[in-house]
Chain A
Amino acid sequence: MQHTSEHFVQNSRIALADAQLKPVLGAVTTFLPALRQKAIDQTPEFEALRDYAVAMKDHVLDHLETYLADFERAVQARGGAVHHAAGAEDLNRIVLALCAGADVRKVIKGKSMVGEETNLNDALQGAGLEVLETDLGEYIIQQAGEPPSHIIGPALHKSKAQVAELFRQKHDLGERNLDDVPQMVREARQMLRERFLSADAGITGANALVAENGSIMLVTNEGNGDLCSILPRLHIVIAGIEKLVPTVEDASALHRVLCRSATGQITSAYTTFYSGPRRAEEPDGPVAFHVILLDNGRRAMRAGKYRSMLRCIRCGACLNHCPVYRHVGGHAYGWVYPGPMGSVLTPLMTGLERAVELPNACTACGRCEETCPMRIPLPEHLRQLRDDAATAGITPRAWRLGIGAAMTAFRWPWLYRASSGLARSAVAFLGRHPGVLRRVPVLRGWAQGRALPAPQAETFMGRWQRRQHGKSGEHRL
């Protein structure tokens, strides 16, 4: 997908003005957190499950290379092959070479964030291959020509009416109706079935890579990932190196926190562990099984202060709980990964210069860290990225000036007191005369539908000093 993170502010304005998007985002960020909470309420062990998932991932990160070597050996022992891709282009090149070697023309895909990361569809289509996304949400956005807006539900930004309209445009409907969601689902089932059966290669992601036996864990509710893994003669798995776990029990341990955090489910409808190509006695399954492991900045992340980001299991909970995501949606973030996790990953994977606005798109409310099943300190990473941007001198000039002014005020208490007193009077005036703000060109949009709250009668400092009056002088400011 096109990278537009440098236009986050502009993208956000467009999103905020989109009247159709607002109710959809409101529903997503209300409904999914409620489902998650219900699942957690049914699981008294949830905090212990989180603690184990975190400790297990940290252990794997400490021993990443040896676990990778174990995984590779196990895949080979079962007749599969492992490939290593340093960057996005390497991964696409390996996939293309595998397809060319097996005379592949038609490719079906399961949902894969790594595939989005490397822009795999464009590379495959550019080489003349037919590519079809089979996850219902991915299929919808592929038909619409749009990027995903959410890592779990890529088409959640689309209303039912918009999907029905899209199917009407893209499918030859004949007599078929599209009045409700079950009918739309049947429509997609019918369209995709034929394509599943005629595909030459299936490409899927992996929710975990199991070092002990070389299997990959694939989690879906639709079963599309399984059809991609079983029906075509070539199965290619693409995954980040951080997906490794030591054993199948550990994969299940991650699965427990993933399902609850992502969709509020106790389990997904389908969870399959695949390893190697079909065996002689089996009537179906791929004749070749390849796993491509992507680095794309992950080893560098592991070596530095952002290491905990590699614990991320792509559950999407931080998006659903983020007040910024709630208002601007996924497309505003301008790349594959949106929300708090995207605001950390995008600068780390594509360069801070291209995404400097993202770490600043944060209210520091801390809900992402609270809800993250892997206890990733997302607000701290966002702060570190802002720090990195300041050190590298790439923070926009206006922000630098603003922060500089604030720092000056903090350094000189009399200046701070004078300016906050002035600001209080100004806010009080504007609160009493709402029409004034609406006449200021840059503030017009913001002031529409909002009123400034009337400030308190005195400042915090004034109140503090009054309360301290009479007490020992050491606490006085």
Chain B
Amino acid sequence: MNARDSAYAALAATRPRVHVPGNVVEHFITRLRAQGGQCSRVDDEPGGRAWIAALAREDGSSMLTAKDAWLERILALPGPALPVLRAAGEGPVKGLAITTAIAAVAETGSLLLHPRAGTPMALNFLCDRLVVLVRAADVLPNLEDLWARVRREFGSDTPRALSLVSGPSSSGDIGMQFATGVHGPIELHALIVSG
């Protein structure tokens, strides 16, 4: 180890963490809601399937779906009829879109999204309502845990984009008044799936 790297190692050992009190999932929900996001919890995958069907019925438009094995499995479960599903990448991105996050962070109420084969990143930023599914077990306490998870999952070959989404697109640029849907999603829903 050279002098720079040993100085850095000593420094990095002092990096403080932000303490997340109480239940990690509860903390995540509180944070995301405080940032203008919406959050729901279901007990299992069939519950997730039912929740998605209800939201899609209420929305009324076709639903754009990310290419993701877990999501596809949930959508293929028996249950009430789903609206027309459009695979992301077919036609323009608008209306309701649904994707998954490999992890979430309670400290900041963030969902980690990354580009995947067959799913445009634009889906996360151009739709009007974005639903992100995340497993309860993947909600991590703080950002240090997130980066440890990313390193474990991808090694040094991290994805080209790692996006922490922590609320709907918003701005306070006009009269310092909070408004959502400036460019990206007007609504952000996190659906936490237990079990």
- CA gap between A270 and B35 in the complex, in Å: 11
* B158: A residues at CB distance < 8 A: 213, 215, 273, 275
Report the number of A-B residue pairs with Cβ-Cβ less than 8 Å.
Answer: 208
Distance between Cα atoms of A250 and B184 in the complex (Å): 27
Contact B125 A268, beta carbon cutoff 8 Å: no
Which one of A52, A192, A227, A265 lies within 8 Å of B16 (CB-CB)? A52
Q: Is the CB of A226 within 8 A of B162?
A: no
Question: Within the complex, what minimum Cβ distance (angstroms) separates B105 from chain A?
Answer: 9
Stretch at the interface among B43-51, B68-76, B131-139, B174-182: B174-182
Select which of A44, A182, A213, A272 is within 8 A of B179 by beta carbon.
A182
Stretch touching chain B among A117-125, A279-287, A376-384, A444-452: A279-287
Q: How far is the CA of A27 from the CA of B108 in the complex (A)?
A: 27
Measured between beta carbons, the chain B residues less than 8 angstroms from A275 are 158, 160-161
CB atoms of B164 and A272 under 8 A apart: yes
Instruction: Say which residue of B16, B88, B118, B161 sits within 8 Å of A49 (CB atoms).
Output: B16
- Most B CB contacts (10 A, CB to CB) among A215, A221, A285 go to A221
A184 near B174: Cβ-Cβ < 8 Å: yes
CA distance A193 to B116 in the complex (A): 24
A1-52 interface with B by 8 A CB criterion: 27-28, 31-32, 43-45, 48-49, 52
Judge whether A155 and B110 touch: CB under 8 Å: no
Contact of A285 among B11, B108, B160 (CB under 8 A): B160
Selected interface stretch from B56-64, B77-85, B96-104, B165-173: B165-173
Q: Which residues of A contact B163 (CB under 8 A)?
A: 226, 270-273
B108 touching A221 by the CB < 8 A rule? no
Do the beta carbons of B122 and A231 come within 8 Å of each other?
Answer: yes
Chain A residues closer than 8 Å to B120, beta-carbon distance: 230, 282-284
Q: How far is the CA of A284 from the CA of B161 in the complex (A)?
A: 11
CB neighbours of A189 from chain B (8 A): 181-183
A27 touches B176 (CB 8 A): yes
A80 to B133, CA, bound (A): 32
Q: Is A267 touching B164 in the complex (CB atoms < 8 A)?
A: yes
Residues of B within 8 A of A153 (CB): 172-173, 176
Cβ proximity bits A176-191 to B, threshold 8 Å, 1 near / 0 not: 0000011011101100
Counting CB contacts under 8 A, is A137 at the interface?
yes
Partner of B166, one of A181, A196, A231, A267: A267
A57 to B46, CA, bound (A): 49
CA distance A223 to B120 in the complex (A): 15
The chain B residue sitting closest to A186, CB to CB, is B181
B7 within 8 A of A: yes
Q: How many angstroms from the CA of A163 to the CA of B174 in the assembled complex?
A: 7
CB distance B125 to A230 under 8 Å? yes
B23 on the A face (CB < 8 A): no
B183 contacts across to A, CB distance below 8 A: 134, 189, 192-193, 196, 222-224, 227
B95 within 8 A of A: no
Contact (Cβ within 8 A) B164 A271:
yes
Which chain A positions have C-beta within 8 A of B181? Answer: 185-186, 189
Looking across the interface, which residue of chain B has its beta carbon closest to that of A221? B170
- A153's nearest neighbour on chain B, judged by CB, is B173
Q: Is A248 an interface residue (CB 8 A)?
A: yes
Q: Would you call B121 an interface residue if the criterion is a C-beta within 8 Å of the partner chain's C-beta atoms?
A: yes
CA distance A223 to B88 in the complex (A): 19
In the bound complex, do residue A160 and residue B175 qualify as a contact, i.e. CB atoms below 8 Å apart? yes
Do B18 and A283 touch across chains, with their CB atoms under 8 A apart?
A: no
A19 to B12, CA, bound (A): 50
Would B182 and A270 count as touching, CB distance under 8 A?
Answer: no
The answer for the CA separation of A64 and B175 in the assembled complex, in Å, is: 40
Q: How far is the CB of B147 from chain A (nearest CB, A)?
A: 5
Instruction: Please list the 5 inter-chain residue pairs (A to B) with the smallest Cβ-Cβ separation, ordered nearest first.
Output: A223-B184, A137-B173, A267-B108, A281-B117, A160-B175
Sample of 10 A–B contacts (CB below 8 Å): A45-B18, A78-B160, A184-B174, A185-B181, A185-B182, A189-B182, A226-B124, A250-B12, A270-B163, A271-B164
